[in-house]
Amino acid sequence: MIAFMFPGQGSQAAGMGKDWAEGSLVASEYFERANQALGRDLRKICFEGPEAELTDTRNTQPALYTVSCIAARLLFDRGLISDYVLGHSIGEYAALYFARSYDFETGLRLVQKRAEVMAEAASSKPGAMAAVIRFDPARIESICREVSEAEGLPLSVAGFNSPEQTVISGTKEMVEKASAVLKAEGAKRVVTLNVSGAFHSALMSEAQGAFQKVVEATPLRKPSTLFLSNHDARPATDVETLKLHLPRQLTSPVRWTDSLKFLKEQGCQAYVEVGPGTVLGGLLSKFDPDAPCAQLSDLASFDTAVERFKPCLCGLRPQEDDLT
C-alpha cells in the first residue's frame, strides 16, 4: 500500500521543476499550460525566483501546485500509482488533481483564487505564525486557548505536523505572548515563521467566506483515489465533503500527525513525497523513523522510486484514467 504526500508552503525553492522540464517534454508542457492559464510566466518564477517573488503566497501556491502535479504525472507515466493521497495545506490541491477531482487548469484556477483571498485577508488582518518544537501538542493547544481568551484576540494551533512540531497562528501580539509562555513551560524552541499571514486561523475567516463561493462554483468530481482531508484526517469520499472541507481548511489546523496515524493503521507500506523539497519526509521520520519514503530530485529519482515501491501496489486494480 502506497501513499502519495504533496508538500505545502515552505517547500518551495528557486529552481524547482527546472531539471524535470529540461529533461521531459511532458513537464515542460505543464509549465506552458500554467503560463497560459495564469497569464504570467510562472515557469520563470519557479526556475529563477527571485525569492521575494516566489515566497509571495500568490505565486507560491500556484507554483507548488504546478510542480507537484508535474511530479505526480511523471510518476503516473512510469506506472506508479497510489492507494492514498494527502497534501499539506496547499498540497491538498495537487493531491486532488491526482485523484481526478478536476483537470490541471481547473485546479490551478482554484489555487490561484485561494492564494488571492488569503493574501487579501493577510493584508487586512495581519498576523504571525510560529513552530513549537518538542512540547506536548495538547498543552500547546490549551495554552493558545488560554492566551486567546485572556486577551480576546485570535490564536490557535495551525498545524499538528509531527509529535515534535506544532505550529501556532494568530495576531503577532498573541503569538509572542504564547511563545513566551511555551518557552517558560519547557518548549525546546519556538521559531517564528517567515510567512505573510496567520494562515489556518480565525484571521482567515474572510478568506474562508470568499473562497467558499469559489469552491461552490467549481465543478468537482468524486476522488478516484482515497483522499485524506487535512480537516479531520479521514478520507473525503464525495464532492459534498470536499466542498465543505476545502474552505474550512483556511481557518482550521492541518492534522498531519493524525493523517500519518491513520495511514499506519491502514497498513501503508511506502510513502512518496510528490513535489519539491524534503519537508514531509522529515515530518514522517519524526512520526515513524522506519517508514520508507522516496523523495524526488532529478529525473533519475523518479525511476528509483518506481523500482523501489512498485512491488507495494495492492494486487490488481482498475486502470486509472489518464491525468489531464
* CA neighbor of 164 nearest in space, from 129, 142, 207, 131: 131
Q: Quick one: 106 and 237 in the same domain? A: yes
Tell me: do 18 and 79 sit in the same domain. Answer: yes
Q: 217 lies in a domain? A: yes
CATH number at residue 172: 3.30.70.250
Q: Which of 159, 174, 192 is the last residue of a domain?
A: 192
Buried b (16+ CB within 10 A) or exposed e, 174-187: bbebbbeebeeeeb
Burial-class residue 18 by CB neighbours within 10 Å (0-12, 13-18, 19+): middle
Decide: residue 285, CB within 10 A, 0-12 exposed, 13-18 middle, 19+ buried: middle
Is residue 322 pLDDT above 90, yes or no? no
Q: Is the pLDDT of residue 204 over 60?
A: yes
**Average pLDDT value for residue range 53-66:** 96
Are 46 and 67 a contacting pair, CB within 8 Å? yes
Domain span at residue 19?
2-123+202-312
Predicted local distance difference test score (pLDDT) of residue 324: 86
The C-alpha atoms of residue 109 and residue 101 are separated, in whole angstroms, by 14
Angle formed at CA 92 by CA 90 and CA 94, multiple of 5 degrees:
90
Of 192, 213, 230, the domain-final residue: 192
Same domain for 210 and 105: yes
Element (H, E) at 230: none
Could you tell me the CATH number of the domain that includes residue 74?
A: 3.40.366.10
Question: What span, in angstroms and rounded, lies between the C-alpha atoms of 307 and 36?
Answer: 35
Active centre residues (catalytic): 89, 200
- 209-254 residue pLDDT tens: 999 999 999 999 999 999 999 999 999 999 999 999 999 999 999 9
Using the predicted structure, report yes or no on whether residue 317 has a pLDDT greater than 60. Answer: no
162 and 35 belong to one structural domain: no
Pair 109, 139 in one domain = no
Report the alpha-carbon distance of residue 299 to residue 77 in Å, rounded: 12
Residue 92 shares a structural domain with residue 241: yes
Identify the residue with better confidence: 269 or 317: 269
For residue 317, being part of any structural domain is answered with: no
Mark whether 78 and 186 lie in a shared domain: no
Shared-domain flag, residues 143 and 101: no
| 107 plus 17 within the same structural domain | yes
Residue type, 285: S
Q: Where are the beta strands (DSSP E) in 184-321?
A: 189-192, 226-228, 270-273, 293-295
SS3 percent helix, strand, coil of the chain, rounded to 5, is 50, 15, 35
- Decide if 76 is inside a domain: yes
* pLDDT surpasses 70 at 320: no
- Per the CB < 8 A criterion, the answer to whether 67 and 275 are in contact is yes
User: pLDDT at position 273, please?
Assistant: 98
Residues 177 and 112 in one domain: no
Residue 285 lies in a domain: yes
Answer yes or no: is 302 within a domain.
yes
User: Cell triple for residue 171?
Assistant: 495576531
Per-residue pLDDT at 318 exceeds 50? no
- Considering the entire predicted model, what is its pTM? 0.96
Is residue 165 assigned to a domain?
yes
Q: What's the whole-number average pLDDT of the chain?
A: 95
For 313, the grid coordinates are 501496489
Averaged pLDDT for residues 7-25: 97
Same domain? For 114 and 139 the reply is no
Regarding whether 84 and 36 lie in a shared domain, the answer is: yes
145-178 pLDDT, tens per residue? 999 999 999 999 999 999 999 999 999 999 999 9
Residue 233's CB is within 10 A of a number of other CB atoms, namely 19
Residue 72 has pLDDT above 60, yes or no: yes
- Considering the domain boundaries, does residue 324 fall inside one? no
Instruction: Write down which residue in 192, 216, 236 finishes a domain.
Output: 192
Mean pLDDT of 69-79: 96
Query: What values do phi and psi take at 238, rounded to 5?
Result: -140, 165
In a domain, 77, yes or no: yes
How many domains would you assign to the chain? 2
Give the per-residue pLDDT at 194: 87
Let me know: does 18 contact 28? Beta carbons within 8 Å.
Answer: no
For position 314, what pLDDT does the model report? 57
- What pLDDT, in 10s, does the model give residues 268-278? 999 999 999 99
**Phi, then psi, of 279 in degrees rounded to 5:** -60, -50
